[in-house]
Each structure stands twice: as structure tokens, then as C-alpha cells.
Amino acid sequence: MERLDKLLASQGMLSRREVRELIAAGRVTVEGGVEKRPERKVSGQETIAVDGLPVTVQKTLTLMLHKPRGYVSAARDARDKTVLELVPPQYRRKGLFPAGRLDKDTTGLMILTDDGALAHEILAPKRHVPKRYRVTVDLPLTEEMVTRFAEGIALKDGMCRPARLEILSEHTGIVTLQEGRYHQIKRMFGCCGVAVTALHRLSMGALALDEALAPGECRPITAEEQALLRQQRVPE
Ligand code: URA
């Protein structure tokens, strides 16, 4: 059970203050009756309406975060700031966790969710959900590296699946992976004698990072975006 104001605000359309104002104005009903108590406990199964329009309560919450540098993608850390600290209060929930990891110095698209099934779908190697990264390296990229990535690089913990490296300029490229091992891209380039100097995740599945999100900002994703996240193609 959860407070009515918290549940409504967690749906992402309104802030907690806006929700309180609606409730105080008598515009919110629970099971057909006006509810003026923001602290009213609800399970989310009730029929809740605002101005007579039923609100479909989403039981799970999935956020798209533009991860900045300097944050670790763990739920808790004794030393470093975590990506969960970037989540504004209205979206904070028990059980929210990062679906997949990015290194502390990696930036870009992160998904935070309390939906374990969704996280499994996008992360399980068998699902082949592609993750795309823009990478900057210290030495020139070569066609030989493109071939090595495509053939599958041997890391200490086993062979990588074939990956795609597209060269954009001498020092920048796009890498598409269908798996996500520890420091994978850095280690793959390390095998080619090159160091990664910047790494930014552009997309997961067919879902690209919303460019309107500044580093450190997040927002709930829509149902359509959730469907894109599960797709095996990369965004156009
Ligand atoms: N590969 C890496 O080396 N680091 C990341 O953060 C993601 C992929």
C-alpha cells in the first residue's frame, strides 16, 4: 500500500505538489468518491480518476537516465555517488535498480527500473538486444580493428560475440555490442593496443537516449519506448 499522492506523482505526469493541489481541490476520486486526503493508502488496484478521467496506474516504473561521468551504476556504494542519487524524489521507489552497468567514467543512456522481467529481457545475452556506444580512442582506428571486432575478440574470460565497429573519424567510432561484460569495450580495444578515452552509450535496443535530457537528468519512459527497448534492431 502506498500514499495516494505518492502513487499519482510516481506516474511521471505531475509533481507531488501538483498532485496535492488536485487532491485538495477535490478533483481526485478513489472508487468514485472524492478523496481529499493525500495520505490515503491505495494499492493501485482501485479506480482512481482525475476530473472524472480514470488514471491507469502503472505498477512498475522505468526511467531513462542520461548518466553523467563520476557516478557508479550500483544501487549502493560506500565510496562513490550512485546513479540512484540522481533520481528526483517523485520517482524514488524501493526496488529501483540500474538495468545493466556503465563504468564510472562512461556517460549516456541508462535504464533504471523496478521491473525485473524487463531488465532480464534487455540484458540476457540470448535476447541479442544491441547496445550502441560512441567511443573515442587515443590512436587511429583501423580497418583491421573493424575486422577483429566482427570476428570476435578473445578476452581473458572468453570469446566476445561478433561486434560492429564503424569508424566515424580517426579517433571516434560507433561500437554495437549484443552483450555487456565488465569493461568490455575498453578491454576489446585494449586487445588492439588502443586506449578508450571517452565512452557514451547512445542506445539500447531500438531506444535512443533522449537528447533533451541533460547529463544527470532522467524521465519515465513511455509504453512505446519500452517496446523499442526490447527490440533487436538499432535506432535509425
Ligand atoms: N564497455 C566498457 O568498457 N565500459 C562501459 O561502461 C560499457 C561498455
- 95-109 tens-digit pLDDT: 899 999 999 999 999
* Known active-site residue 114: no
Cell 567511443 belongs to residue: 135
Q: Where would I find the H helices in the chain?
A: 4-9, 16-24, 116-123, 143-151, 184-191, 223-229
In tens, the pLDDT along 29-46 reads 999 999 999 999 998 788
Segment 231-235 mean pLDDT? 84
Give the per-residue pLDDT at 60: 86
Task: Answer yes or no: is pLDDT of 231 > 80.
Answer: yes
DSSP 33-74: EE---TT-EE-S-S-EEETTEEP---SS-EEEEEEPTTEESS
Task: Report whether pLDDT(194) > 80.
Answer: yes
Q: What pTM value is reported for the model?
A: 0.82
Nearest CA to ligand 1 atom 7: 102
Q: At what angle do helices 143-151 and 184-191 cross, to 10 degrees?
A: 120
* Spatial contact of 104 and 71, defined as CB atoms under 8 Å apart: yes
Residue in 51, 77, 103, 157 annotated catalytic: 103
Locate 99 and state its grid cell.
Answer: 538495468
Count of C-beta atoms within a 10 Å radius of residue 143: 9
Residue 48 in contact with residue 33, Cβ under 8 Å? no
Q: What percent of the chain has pLDDT over 90?
A: 72
Cβ 110 vs Cβ 159: under 8 Å: no
Model confidence at 74, pLDDT cuts 50, 70, 90, reads confident
Q: Tell me the C-alpha distance between 110 and 224, whole Å.
A: 17
- Report how far ligand 1's centroid is from the alpha carbon of 198 (Å): 10
Ligand 1 neighbourhood includes 106 CB (under 6 angstroms): yes
Asked if residue 59 has pLDDT above 90, the reply is no
**How many Å lie between the centroid of ligand 1 and the Cα of residue 99?**
14
**Measured in whole angstroms, how far is the alpha carbon of residue 128 from the centre of its chain?**
17
- Establish whether residue 102 lines the binding site of ligand 1, counting it when its CB lies within 6 angstroms of any ligand atom: yes
Diameter of the chain measured on Cα atoms: 69
Residue 11: pLDDT above 80?
A: no
Query: Closest Cα partner for 229 from 95, 162, 102, 132?
Result: 132
For residue 119, give Cα distances in angstroms to 54, 101, 123, 169: 29, 12, 6, 34
